[in-house]
Amino acid sequence: MSSDSFSFAMGEFTAEFPGDRMYVSNHMWALQTTDDRWRFGLTGYAVRLLQDVYFLEWTLEPATPIASRQLMGAIESKKAESDLYAPIAGVLVAINETCLTDPSVINADTYGEGWLFEIESQDVGSLLSPDGYLTHLADAWEVAQRTIKGQANH
């Protein structure tokens, strides 16, 4: 795998992922910006499944301590409405105001200006390496395909 990027085939679509960051099983990327500060956004896989994000709402404000898997907000798109949960425990230190005003930036620049929030934390053991995320994607895609075909119980 190239350290610059990697990809995953989702049927006819191929999702691209930067190799310079960590990942979360709920399809977020994590980029370390300082020793204990991490920037998070949705992966190309998540954006492809959601399609056309048009609404983003946060229920927490910066400087709020958060627990791993704590409800943080919600996102709406052409395909789905989903709650957004904290990928790690720590302190929410920043929210990308640009995405609140114009959520389409999430679609247009997923790994750049489309970031969602930043968390200060030293508890990042649950983050996945690019190889770990690729394995997770393969497993998740298999389940998604069965679900789409109505075979989730097989």
- pTM for the complete prediction? 0.87
- Report which of residues 149 and 59 the model is more confident about: 59
pLDDT for position 12: 77
pLDDT for position 91: 98
- Report which of residues 152 and 53 the model is more confident about: 53
What percent of the chain stands above pLDDT 90? Answer: 64
pLDDT for position 13: 79
Give the Cα separation of 108 and 74 in Å (integer): 19
Give the Cα separation of 101 and 29 in Å (integer): 21
Handedness of CA 54, 59, 63, 69 (dihedral sign): negative
Domains along the chain with CATH numbers: 5-146 (2.40.50.100)
Tens digit of each residue's pLDDT (9 = 90 or more) over 118-144:
999 998 999 999 999 999 988 877 776
pLDDT band at 2 (very low <50, low <70, confident <90, very high): very low
